[in-house]
Amino acid sequence: MAEITNYKYRVEPQDVDFTLRASAPSVVNYILNTAGLDAHNKGFGVEVLQRQSLSWVLSRLSVEIDSLPAQYDEFKVATWINEFNRLSSTRNFTLHDRSGMQFARAVSQWCMINIESRTVADMSSLEDTYRAAMVACPSPCGKPARIGAIDPQHHITRPVVYSDLDFNRHVNTLRYIEMIFNALPIERIERNEGMRIDINFIAEGRWGQTLDIGHATDGNRTNFEIKADDGRTLCRARVEWR
Amino acid sequence: MAEITNYKYRVEPQDVDFTLRASAPSVVNYILNTAGLDAHNKGFGVEVLQRQSLSWVLSRLSVEIDSLPAQYDEFKVATWINEFNRLSSTRNFTLHDRSGMQFARAVSQWCMINIESRTVADMSSLEDTYRAAMVACPSPCGKPARIGAIDPQHHITRPVVYSDLDFNRHVNTLRYIEMIFNALPIERIERNEGMRIDINFIAEGRWGQTLDIGHATDGNRTNFEIKADDGRTLCRARVEWR
């Protein structure tokens, strides 16, 4: 059995929004970078998987944010894996400020795909390395919810552009989070009284496509569905304010 | 007289594009962050200026990039100020990889504005602190060119969104650089054989506006003009490939 691993960061100028605090998308960015770095440090990073034509794919994510750190604040991301089977792995995160207060937490579910066939791969080949990295500690918040189709009240369309692309020429995970926040009322973001985000990643957006970002609000909840111009759903999400 | 100051960085996952190398906008981001950090360390950062209702504004920038570092590569940004008068200050940069090879360089020109009146301020009040930070070393490349109005062949329009905004609720400088790169042919970005970028920042884009990104290509040069929906020019730029 392994132990929870901690990574230290600082809120950089590019992370803050107009409130001079880290934006929620930048917090998600630190969470995802920590996942990549910790997988690398423990022997199952993308560069190891690529030798077997495999890659990690984030399938679902839940994030709860109570408050956001200010520019140049230092903070710590703790991460651990507590579930693993042939088809899915669960990685957890808690975020703490310098005084040790937990200000955010997250649960992510990953699968593995074969890069060539683009199909889901069996993770059994990683089992030995992976078991050694497991930590017997429960997830810090509710697992990512399954989000259903929505009947959007509003639509935004935008092309996939160069700065959206990851190394696979697919839309970077973080861009979906930005699209979601760009569609939310700015006043709500400004007075952030705490939120929970649930996201399901369903298919890959590609260079040359135009995306449709549909959303519908009911009270404190806004549901999102992002589709490609061929009608395929790429991503569904829900943001719930406290 | 002061000396050239060095800052160390590493190419993080969010900095790379689909080539798995740092994107040109992310290199510009490191350059601008270094300017902020060095000003802070030498006693004339934004937080000192704000007490006098003043702020730095980037007016022009030239950047030459020969090659781009790969993900997780370490690199160094050297910076120094070599010119200063009542209305403008020149800050220079050279970027070096771990072997010491210079792979990029930049010259930036800054003015100071009064935050309340939004008018250009006299920098004489900073003179003593500033003189002590000057370095008698020439700029590493040609100063930023003045870019004239253009007759665009192509237009892209897009609204100003939450993730564009800086702490003033104006469009973040870096977003203009991204808009420019998002309009360039992706094949040209992919085979990057070296480039020079000249940018003039003219007015501030604001929340609620829709931007028009016009561009025209002549051989190896593409000129850009970004306007707000009231017709005001916010930014002009030129990208020249080698």
E-state strands within chain B: 5-10, 54-65, 74-84, 89-97, 102-114, 119-121, 154-159, 195-201, 210-218, 221-227, 233-241
d(CA B112, CA B117): 12
Q: Is B74 helix (H, G, I), strand (E, B) or coil?
A: strand
Residues A116 and A224 in one domain: no
Helix (H) or strand (E) holding A174: helix A173-183
A20/B13 Cβ within 8 A: no
What pLDDT, on the 0 to 100 scale, is given for residue B1?
Answer: 66
Confidence of residue A50 (pLDDT cuts 50, 70, 90): confident
Q: Shortest Cα distance from A2 to chain B (angstroms)?
A: 26
Test the B interface: residue of A29, A167, A189 with most B CBs within 10 Å: A167
Which of A74, A100, A133 represents a domain boundary (last residue)?
A: A133
Q: Percentage of chain A with pLDDT > 90?
A: 76
Residues A95 and A12 in one domain: yes
Token pair in block for residue B9: 């960085």
Q: What is the pLDDT of residues B11-26, one digit of tens each?
A: 988 899 999 999 999 9
State the greatest distance between any 2 C-alpha atoms of chain A, in Å, as a whole number. Answer: 49
pLDDT above 90 for B172: yes
Token pair in block for residue B185: 């042919």
User: How many beta-carbon pairs below 8 A join chains A and B?
Assistant: 65
A33/B169 Cβ within 8 A: no
Q: Is B181 helix (H, G, I), strand (E, B) or coil?
A: helix
pLDDT above 70 for B181: yes
Q: Is residue B139 part of a domain?
A: no
Q: Is A186 helix (H, G, I), strand (E, B) or coil?
A: helix
Average pLDDT over residues A24-46: 93
Residue in chain B nearest A46 by alpha carbon = B13
d(CA A28, CA A97): 15
B166/A18 Cβ within 8 A: yes
Q: How many domains does one find in chain B? A: 2
Average pLDDT over residues A184-197: 93
d(CA A187, CA A194): 13
B16/A167 Cβ within 8 A: yes
With a CB cutoff of 8 Å and minimum separation 6, the contacts of B88 are B59, B109, B110, B111
Q: Give the residue, B152 or B47, on which the prediction is more confident.
A: B152
B14/A162 Cβ within 8 A: no
Confidence of residue B131 (pLDDT cuts 50, 70, 90): confident
Which of A83, A102, A133 represents a domain boundary (last residue)?
A: A133
Buried b (16+ CB within 10 A) or exposed e, A164-191: bbbbebbbbbbbbbbbbbbbbebeebee
Q: Give the CA count within 13 Å in the CB-facing half-sphere of B106.
A: 29
- List residues bridging with B92 in a β-sheet: B80, B107
pLDDT above 90 for A237: yes
- List residues bridging with A97 in a β-sheet: A75
- List residues bridging with B239 in a β-sheet: B197, B222
Q: Which of B161, B167, B181 sits opposite A162 (nearest CB)?
A: B181
What pLDDT, on the 0 to 100 scale, is given for residue B45?
Answer: 87
Test the A interface: residue of B27, B72, B167, B187 with most A CBs within 10 Å: B167
Q: Shortest Cα distance from A117 to chain B (angstroms)?
A: 19
A12/B167 Cβ within 8 A: no
Q: Is B75 helix (H, G, I), strand (E, B) or coil?
A: strand
Residues A15 and A128 in one domain: yes
Token pair in block for residue A76: 């710590």
Q: Is residue A147 part of a domain?
A: no
d(CA A166, CA A183): 22
Residues A25 and A99 in one domain: yes
Q: Does A36 touch chain B (CB under 8 A)?
A: yes
In terms of residue numbers, what domain contains A105? Answer: 5-133
Looking up residue A28, the CATH number of its domain turns out to be 3.10.129.10
Phi-psi sector, A6: left (phi>0), alpha (psi -120 to 50), beta: beta
Confidence of residue B199 (pLDDT cuts 50, 70, 90): very high
pLDDT above 70 for B54: yes
Residue B184: how many other CB atoms lie within 10 Å: 18
DSSP alpha helix (H) spans, B11-137: 24-41, 46-50, 127-133
Q: Shortest Cα distance from B21 to chain A (angstroms)?
A: 9
Mean pLDDT score of chain B: 93
Q: Does A207 touch chain B (CB under 8 A)?
A: yes
Q: Does A191 touch chain B (CB under 8 A)?
A: no
Residues B46 and B120 in one domain: yes
Residues A127 and A163 in one domain: no
Q: Does B51 touch chain A (CB under 8 A)?
A: no
A18/B165 Cβ within 8 A: yes
Q: Does B168 touch chain A (CB under 8 A)?
A: yes
Q: What is the pLDDT of residues A102-153, one digit of tens each?
A: 999 999 999 999 988 888 899 888 888 888 889 999 999 999 999 999 999 9
Confidence of residue B49 (pLDDT cuts 50, 70, 90): confident
Which of A133, A168, A194 represents a domain boundary (last residue)?
A: A133
Q: Does B182 touch chain A (CB under 8 A)?
A: yes
Residues A62 and A160 in one domain: no
Neighboring chain A residues of B25 at a CB cutoff of 8 Å: 163
Residues B103 and B191 in one domain: no
Confidence of residue B76 (pLDDT cuts 50, 70, 90): very high
Q: What's this model's pTM, rounded to 2 decimal places?
A: 0.90
DSSP alpha helix (H) spans, chain B: 24-41, 46-50, 127-133, 173-183, 186-190
Neighboring chain A residues of B163 at a CB cutoff of 8 Å: 17, 23, 25, 178, 181-182
Q: Does B209 touch chain A (CB under 8 A)?
A: no
Neighboring chain A residues of B158 at a CB cutoff of 8 Å: 158
Q: Is residue A140 part of a domain?
A: no
Residues A163 and A230 in one domain: yes
A189/B162 Cβ within 8 A: yes
Q: Does B123 touch chain A (CB under 8 A)?
A: no
Residues B37 and B120 in one domain: yes
pLDDT above 70 for A1: no
Q: Is residue B77 part of a domain?
A: yes
Q: Is residue B140 part of a domain?
A: no
Average pLDDT over residues B48-56: 87
Q: Does A74 touch chain B (CB under 8 A)?
A: no
Q: Does A163 touch chain B (CB under 8 A)?
A: yes
Q: Is residue A122 part of a domain?
A: yes
Amino acid A55 reads S
Residues B26 and B92 in one domain: yes
Q: Is residue A139 part of a domain?
A: no
What pLDDT, on the 0 to 100 scale, is given for residue B104?
Answer: 98
Residues A104 and A212 in one domain: no
Judged on CB neighbours under 10 Å (0-12, 13-18, 19+), A223 is buried
d(CA B140, CA B94): 7
d(CA A10, CA B94): 24
Q: Shortest Cα distance from B15 to chain A (angstroms)?
A: 10
Of the candidates A117, A92, A114, the one whose C-alpha atom is nearest the C-alpha of residue A105 is: A92
Q: Does A119 touch chain B (CB under 8 A)?
A: no
B25/A163 Cβ within 8 A: yes
Confidence of residue B193 (pLDDT cuts 50, 70, 90): confident
